[in-house]
Amino acid sequence: MKKILLMSISLLSVFLICGCGKMKEKDVLKELTKKIENSKGYHIIGELEITNAEYVYEYDVDVAYQDGDYFRVSLKNKTNNHEQIILKNKEGVYVLTHQSLQL
């Protein structure tokens, strides 16, 4: 009797978990938009490729944003590891190049 009851509860749980809560595309976009609008910051890591005539430049990009329009953008050249950072805080906007980062 206990086995049958446990199996029934397990099956019911599986059906509820799998059957309920399916969201449509519009619902997902609406929920995601709401979360983005209410967020106080974000952190993104990615890659950037710039093509200039016959040259291709590849960068690792690291972006952090905090509510209040504070941000930090790091661009690191994959070929020579030169890094440039753009920083905005209360005092202003700063651009740190490879040479200034070594100080």
Q: pLDDT tens for residues 4-24?
A: 444 555 555 555 555 556 778
pLDDT digits (tens, 9 = 90+) for 25-65: 888 888 888 887 788 888 989 999 999 989 999 999 999 99
Same domain, 46 and 79: yes
pTM value is: 0.61
Looking at residue 6, its pLDDT comes to: 44
- The span from the CA of 62 to the CA of 51, in Å, is 20
Q: Which of 78, 80, 79, 76 is nearest to 96 (CA)?
A: 76
Q: How many domains does the chain have?
A: 2
Same domain, 27 and 47: no
Q: Which domain holds residue 74?
A: 40-103
pLDDT digits (tens, 9 = 90+) for 87-97: 999 999 999 98
Same domain, 34 and 44: no
